[in-house]
A and B are shown apart, each in its own frame.
Chain A
């Protein structure tokens, strides 16, 4: 539960809004579904935006050779 939900008023922060729009745009631009799902989990659910977390979300552990 987010802070804003706790106090009963749900106002997504600007970053939250931007991330949601980003994920929607990925869908329309034919980015693989599994990549979008991993990015959603990383950005929205876990709130992580570090380089390592994003690499894993983009390519999964098996395919991120760099």
Chain B
């Protein structure tokens, strides 16, 4: 992992040009809403991943990184939107690396120096923006639906592959189960066909041997003593007579074939089949008329295939870089939408299975008739063949299910037997009746030849069915074992996270929830999350806990997950205004927690709350000087950041070089607001309280000066009490100097009409405004008398 030393942001989001020095340590950015804090967060995410998740996530419509990441004035120049971060890699002897990424070439950052080791470390960020946590994510972890939470947490823990393997093994198991059923059906038909030729009802060894041996005796062949897997029923027949005479029809078997065919056709044309087919047609029509269903059945397979392909860093079609977890998440959400439709489809497929078996039975029967027609009625071969072709086509349409139109068309035609087929069968029946009765020997020879032929067919079908069954069993066993193992493993992972989460949350709520516990309960596709509520039981976090507690839970769950995911590699995280609802005491505890338990992790924190920033500094989470304050924001300038700016030089430059009173006035106004707010805070000045916490210059200037003067005068009294006359005189001079400087600013007049005061500066001429600048510069210097510069460094 990395430690960020510095980030330079140019023409990106609301920022024109800013450089922040993190120095590899925790860093805080404070500012009111809309001052550009999130722009820095976006810049960090973009620099490390090439993406901004809040611009590319679900529900963002036409907003995109490419079009909307550049500053609004540079939207046509994405090459100008540039982030440069300098970072060190602790595991590579603190090697310093510079990464530069522009919106134009978001997928190909410039990395200096570059080596396989450095690239491997940066690859860990690729497609994984979880190092950035905003309050939006917190809500998703804590109070989302179990199904959504499961996805969020699985994505964070990079468990996608665990679920994907399970899904793929299930697909394979289902496919082989279906194959085994198909082969079993073929075996059953071959068995029935063999029994029909043998003229017995059950394929029992003794009955078979008895039937075959009675024919063998007629032919003068030795009886078979056993029936094994290799027994040949026509063993001993002269080789020239071992095969069926294709130019001659055996009357007995032909009659049986005709009977079987007649029965099969009666079955498929039965009223029950017609009713079932009509109902299936209606159900398929309903499914087809629902646009979502149509999308589902037509896209489900595509989406499942898409998940298979969404494992590479780039699209295999157009080579565009994509965010794998986001893409997979989108695909899974779409598949979930199809869940109900999928259930309907599965049920319909189940009902179609017997219809398909019936088609197979008729096809098999017509095949026998086709063989008879080759000898007895060749002129009808084409019609029989055409019927079999149509049966095959219907079977495929129903088996494939998609497109639905083909399945609907097929199911309508199943019970209808073409009229010419019945006629042809009648013609062949007559022809068979006309065949002279065979001699006893001819009948016996034909019997054992055909029986052997059907026995071979049955043996092959049985072998195939057995292999298919073994494949199905192995696929199911593998799936079952994996499900068992992955469930246990995930339970263990969640148990660890659950314990860590409870420990972290207890640490910041030790006063009243020291014995807090939590339960993460995984089930297929869902992750339940219940927390202890003051010993009254376990409930969802949103049930009884306050919003502030929920925020704290979200952060603790995130930290627990990151600890599980990255262990000691958890070195960098951005917490974007995540504790806005948490009170001061708990924030202090949270600061202590981050400082003590995550001492190797560099946090970049943003907040709109000055008090929270102070607290972070006081507790030592943020080192002195490692924070910045955005005072305001304008489209032209971006965030105004005081700490690193020499404001007086900038004001002089605006006035003297650019003749720009507007810019100078704006700078002066915001800078003075910042300085005197800090002065009030440092001197503990009494300021009229404002509920919204937005103190303007008119609110802080006079109290700061008044308090400072009072403190100096107190000093005079003390000095005099201790007979320190020189010191007392010096302090008196300083008080007078401060008072004079304050009067020079004309600030007292503003109190008469604070609504206009400094807002009018922008309308001044340079000559009018320059004395104002001089007066305030002098006043500010009085507050920082020991410093050569008037630059504030309160932080």
B485 close to A6 (CB less than 8 A):
no
A6 close to B117 (CB less than 8 A):
yes
Q: In the docked arrangement, what's the CA distance between A4 and B121, Å? A: 9
User: Using Cβ atoms and an 8 Å threshold, which residues of chain B touch A31?
Assistant: 474, 477-478, 481
Could you mark each residue 2-39 of chain A with 1 if its beta carbon is under 8 Å from any beta carbon of chain B, else 0? Answer: 01101111010111011101100110010100010001
A49 close to B164 (CB less than 8 A):
yes
A18 close to B172 (CB less than 8 A):
no
Question: In the complex, how many angstroms separate the beta carbon of B410 from the nearest chain A beta carbon?
Answer: 22
Q: In the docked arrangement, what's the CA distance between A31 and B568, Å? A: 37
Q: In the docked arrangement, what's the CA distance between A57 and B59, Å? A: 40
Asked if A40 lies at the interface with its beta carbon under 8 angstroms from chain B, I say no
| B residues 133-173 touching A (CB-CB < 8 Å) | 157-162, 164-165, 168-169, 171-172
A14 close to B159 (CB less than 8 A):
yes
Question: In the complex, how many angstroms separate the beta carbon of B465 from the nearest chain A beta carbon?
Answer: 12
Instruction: Tell me the nearest residue of chain B to A23, going by C-beta.
Output: B485
- How many chain-A residues does the 8 Å CB contact rule pick out? 34
Among candidates A7, A18, A51, residue contacting B485 with C-beta atoms closer than 8 Å: A18
Instruction: Tell me the nearest residue of chain B to A48, going by C-beta.
Output: B311
Asked if A63 lies at the interface with its beta carbon under 8 angstroms from chain B, I say yes
User: Using Cβ atoms and an 8 Å threshold, which residues of chain A touch B117?
Assistant: 6-7
User: Using Cβ atoms and an 8 Å threshold, which residues of chain B touch A43?
Assistant: 165
- How many chain-B residues does the 8 Å CB contact rule pick out? 48
Mostly, the A contact residues are: helix
| B residues 433-477 touching A (CB-CB < 8 Å) | 467-468, 471, 474-475, 477
From known contacts A49-B168, A51-B308, infer whether A7 and B121 are also in contact, taking CB-CB under 8 Å.
Answer: yes
Total inter-chain residue pairs, C-beta < 8 Å = 105
Question: In the complex, how many angstroms separate the beta carbon of B160 from the nearest chain A beta carbon?
Answer: 8
Among candidates A6, A14, A66, residue contacting B157 with C-beta atoms closer than 8 Å: A14
User: Using Cβ atoms and an 8 Å threshold, which residues of chain B touch A63?
Assistant: 467, 471
Question: In the complex, how many angstroms separate the beta carbon of A39 from the nearest chain B beta carbon?
Answer: 8
User: Using Cβ atoms and an 8 Å threshold, which residues of chain A touch B569?
Assistant: 4, 7, 9, 11
User: Using Cβ atoms and an 8 Å threshold, which residues of chain A touch B530?
Assistant: none
B489 close to A14 (CB less than 8 A):
yes
Q: In the docked arrangement, what's the CA distance between A42 and B130, Å? A: 28
A51 close to B162 (CB less than 8 A):
no
Question: In the complex, how many angstroms separate the beta carbon of A29 from the nearest chain B beta carbon?
Answer: 6
Question: In the complex, how many angstroms separate the beta carbon of A38 from the nearest chain B beta carbon?
Answer: 11
Among candidates A3, A8, A26, residue contacting B124 with C-beta atoms closer than 8 Å: A3
From known contacts A6-B120, A15-B158, A22-B482, infer whether A54 and B489 are also in contact, taking CB-CB under 8 Å.
Answer: no
Which B residues contact A (CB, under 8 angstroms)? 91-92, 116-117, 120-121, 123-124, 157-162, 164-165, 168-169, 171-172, 175-176, 178-179, 308, 311, 467-468, 471, 474-475, 477-478, 481-482, 484-486, 488-490, 493, 564-569
In the assembled complex, 17 residue pairs joining A and B whose CB atoms fall closer than 8 Å, in A order, are A3-B123, A6-B117, A9-B91, A11-B568, A11-B569, A14-B489, A15-B159, A29-B481, A31-B474, A49-B168, A50-B311, A54-B169, A58-B475, A65-B179, A65-B467, A66-B175, A66-B471
Given contacts A18-B162, A49-B311, 17 further A-B contacts (CB under 8 A): A4-B569, A14-B565, A15-B159, A18-B486, A25-B481, A25-B484, A29-B481, A31-B478, A35-B474, A39-B478, A49-B165, A50-B311, A51-B172, A52-B308, A58-B475, A58-B478, A65-B468
